[in-house]
Amino acid sequence: MTEHEEVDNSTFETGSTPSAPEHEGPKIGETRPAPKIGDTKPSEPSGGEFVAPVTPVSTREEGRQPTPVVAATSEEAEEKEAPGGTGRKRRRRGGRERRGKSVGRYMMCVHVQGTTTHIAMLEGRTLVEHYVVKETDETTQIDGNLYLGRVQNVLPGMEAAFVDIGIPKNAVLYRGDVHYDPDDVEAGNAQDARIEDVLKPGQLMICQVTKNPIGAKGARLTQEVSLPGRFAVLVPHSSTIGISKRLGDNERRRLRKILDEIRPKGHGLIVRTAAEGATAEELAGDVADLTQRWEAIEKEANRSSKPGLVYRELDLAVRMLREELNGDYRGVLIDDPELYAQVKTYVSQVSPEMTDRVEHYDLATETLPLFERYFVHEQLHKALDSKVWLPSGGSLIIERTEALTVVDVNTGKNVGKTTLEETVFKNNLEAAEEVAHQLRLRDIGGIIVIDFIDMESKAHRESVTAQLRQALARDKTRTQVFDISELGLVEMTRKRISEGLMESLSTSCPQCEGRGLVFDRDLP
């Protein structure tokens, strides 16, 4: 899987293997780059046309484009249910109730409008995340998908290669994400081999998308493939062994014993947080399904000679439920009957104890649309505004550019009651909390500069930075925050996975071409 926030956004305990590429998943709440995991060394090669981790080519049909292998559906999961798996009793995923009503911190509202699906995540009544999935996203929302790619050209000066994966824009594969066999490198030190020694134009490979194409930039690829399941993540042709550190010590010891027994030969395995309380039979069934899925992917790739999709991840709505749904959710409301039936069936197999929390919001009987009923509509429109008001009267101005995003903090109507320093300090504390919320809601990534109001006290500056880091801890996307500079600026980064909320719901103005102004017609 990609981005490997889908490994429950946890960090892992791994075997004695080298670190994997930088795209591995962070722990929820981490405000520094998470520890890297995995193994960049391939298993023993068996020769052939593919680069590792692909198995040798047997018979390749000329001009044949691959047929995608789709992630296991709920029906398939039911047919392959592990023997003895007569109902999981996993404490952390069980729902809580109070007076017969579901109790939880989060709620998911899914609204289908034509060919577009909106997924809103509510914390209490506050909109904290919003995702937009469009029908045309077969070439833009592709993170997690596996492709048979053909190297178009290699750029030694950029330490990267452009790869044709069967979509209009070529994807990028960087040197650090290349998986190769040192014995195949002819010249120099195999461990420090240059990208032009490892990849050649016309070469075919299996690769996975770790970052969606954004703007003029193509998708980012890796050859360190990983396939997510309900309880485990399969890392083909790797020696990685991992167990989520979010689990308790006793549970990790129990899972370690099971892991040694069920690990498939020649592949790595990472046990996810969702495996808490799962039986050995359930884990074995999940791993068997993943192994069979990988074999199908390799078989399809070996038969094809043209670039194309070989494995498609689940729909975003189902994928989010696979990763997120637990006892903290009080409900999932879906206003589309077809999507509701799909999600309901899937959850009944993955988390049967949570099935009653997936409900159909029937527009024929309800008096208000789903998003209006839960105030998503109003909060969504506010999230598209550049100005955000703070509780005490201050404000934020959020401006995005090609290079970075700038957040300006103002006192506005906040005049305070004591001293100027105290007024500014309290205003900045509110701003730090709201900045974290807005970055998550608007899905802003890349370099971010926050211009806090100047504070004389060093203790106040440290408190504001600590408040910002604490607020960002609720964001599952990796962030890194630096201390406030003498100019009152905070530099930070937030991993960019896809285009932000603003880009998902807008198009550039054809009149001004997105500049926000029109030049005088009589300009000499």
Strand 160-164 to 329-334 pairing: unpaired
CB 316 within 8 A of CB 119: yes
Confidence of residue 57 (pLDDT cuts 50, 70, 90): very low
Distance separating alpha carbons of residues 235 and 225, to the nearest angstrom: 6
- Once rounded to an integer, what is the mean pLDDT over residues 422-440? 95
Instruction: Count the neighbouring beta carbons within 10 Å of the beta carbon of residue 457.
Output: 12
- Give the HSE-up count for residue 487: Cα atoms under 13 Å, Cβ half-sphere: 7
Domain with CATH 3.30.420.40 in the chain: 99-134+313-374
Under CATH, what is the fold of the domain 99-134+313-374? Answer: Nucleotidyltransferase; domain 5 (3.30.420)
The architecture in CATH of the region 384-503 reads: 2-Layer Sandwich (3.30)
Residue type, 221: L
- Give the DSSP H/E element, type plus range, for residue 113: strand 106-113
Give percent of the chain with pLDDT exceeding 70. Answer: 78
Confidence of residue 6 (pLDDT cuts 50, 70, 90): very low
Q: How many residues does this entry show for the chain?
A: 524
On whether the CB atoms of residues 6 and 25 are closer than 8 A, the answer is yes
Are the C-beta atoms of 396 and 144 separated by less than 8 Å? no
Answer whether 123's CB lies under 8 Å from 106's CB.
yes
Give 202-224 pLDDT, tens digit per residue: 999 999 999 888 877 889 999 99
Q: Which is it for the CA torsion 449, 454, 457, 463, positive or negative?
A: negative
pTM of the model: 0.71
Identify the CATH class of 143-182+192-220.
mainly beta
Q: Where are the alpha helices (DSSP H) in 99-244?
A: 195-198
Are 222 and 187 spatial neighbours (Cβ–Cβ below 8 Å)? no
pLDDT tens-digit series, residues 338-395: 999 988 988 887 778 888 999 999 999 999 999 999 999 999 999 999 999 999 999 9
Give the separation between CA 240 and CA 234, rounded to whole angstroms.
9
What is the rounded distance in angstroms from the CA atom of residue 343 to the CA atom of residue 355? 9
Q: How confident is the model at residue 492 (pLDDT cuts 50, 70, 90)?
A: very high
pLDDT over 90 at 128, yes or no? yes
- pLDDT tens for 284-302 read 988 999 999 999 999 988 8
d(CA 141, CA 394): 37
Q: Does the pLDDT value for residue 140 go beyond 90?
A: no
The predicted-structure confidence for 21-55, as pLDDT tens digits, reads as follows: 444 444 444 444 444 444 434 444 344 444 444 44
Q: Determine the 3-state secondary structure of 5 from DSSP.
A: coil
Chain segment 231-285, per-residue pLDDT in tens: 899 999 888 889 988 788 999 999 999 998 999 988 999 998 878 888 899 899 8
Residue 121 to residue 124: CA distance in whole angstroms? 10
Q: Are strands 69-70 and 96-98 parallel, antiparallel or unpaired?
A: unpaired
Give the span between the Cα atoms of 392 and 438, in whole angstroms: 17
Q: What is the mean pLDDT of the segment spanning 165-173?
A: 91
Residue with structure tokens 């194309």?
308
Q: What whole-number distance in Å separates Cα of residue 414 and Cα of residue 482?
A: 27
Whole-angstrom distance, CA of residue 384 vs CA of residue 388:
10
pLDDT at 137: 61
Residues of the chain with CATH 3.30.110: 384-503
| Alpha-carbon distances, residue 128 vs 124, 125, 379 (angstroms) | 10, 9, 10
Question: With 0-12 CB in 10 A as exposed, 13-18 as middle and 19+ as buried, what is 446?
Answer: middle
Side chain identity at residue 167, one-letter code: I
